[in-house]
Structure 1
């Protein structure tokens, strides 16, 4: 079986490429940082535990159920965070988008720049019609970013998950491509 080439993108300021084994230290830094994981569904307390996340990125790609990119500064190749899709359902032409950044890169428009690069790729080359985003209620920064990216708030799932022993509510956002699109007959 022919190995698929991982899509690589460059923007004015960023490089979006495959997450590598050498990124594990940065993944750990992000997914153990209290401010990053405050509204994120995954967290790790040791570098070794982060191997689970590294395996998850690889398994998504190998099973064709998602793709996640490392976000790096073009000028210095510094790792900033990650963005990608999971829960890819080709039969329904939809997937879930997710993202996170190390705090020193917050407020610089990095996720918007990365998302504005991968979203057209997902619609045009992966055949997606719908991209969903699930945001913990209270995560105003992610909600604001999704609205800036033209995602629509579809509603709130009240007390739908448990985090730290408490029920949390989750807002669902979606971006639809080509509203007049129809399934082939």
Structure 2
């Protein structure tokens, strides 16, 4: 899969993206809002790409994708299959130096359009921590509506959002 926006190319993750994933998944904002995924070296990053992203794309037809700006990876945006949600979940994250420039809005719009128009998905969920006000604002600007909070399998309470195909 490859999507193009005015500024970004959104593409499938590849093994060569391991250094980028290692950097992204160890940023302060990732750890604070998403959590420590135990990606602490190059081998861990490769394993994550293979076992989570490539496998998800093969099994579900969707996954998190790498957002690139001038061919350089700057973030991720895509759909995640969570066992406790009926519909795919929109996920996104950026390297801190790229926040505040509308990249998530741009990538999210492209990913949602592809999901609804090309993949036949009728509804997309999104979850975020109650403290992550920036993600909440992004979801609202993408047209998501906030639902009741839910508990994840690890007993964490998160905010649940949904967007339906129009």
Residue correspondences, number: 162
Counterpart-to-counterpart distance in 1, 2:25 and 2:90: 17
CA 1:53 to 1:19, structure 2 compared with 1: closer, same or farther past 3 Å? same
Alpha-carbon RMSD across the aligned residues, in angstroms, is 2.0
The structure with the largest helix share of the pair is 2
Q: Report the TM-score, using the length of structure 1 for normalisation.
A: 0.80
User: Which residues of structure 2 form unaligned runs of 5+?
Assistant: none
User: Which residues of structure 1 form unaligned runs of 5+?
Assistant: 1-6, 179-185
Q: Does 1:27 align with 2:21?
A: yes
Kindly report structure 1 stretches of 4+ aligned residues shifted beyond 6 Å.
none
The structure with the largest strand share of the pair is 1
Counterpart-to-counterpart distance in 2, 1:29 and 1:156: 30
Structure-2 residue corresponding to 1:54:
49
Q: Does 1:112 align with 2:134?
A: no
Q: Report the TM-score, using the length of structure 2 for normalisation.
A: 0.89
Which structure has the bigger radius of gyration?
A: 1
Counterpart-to-counterpart distance in 1, 2:17 and 2:33: 22
Structure-2 residue corresponding to 1:66:
62
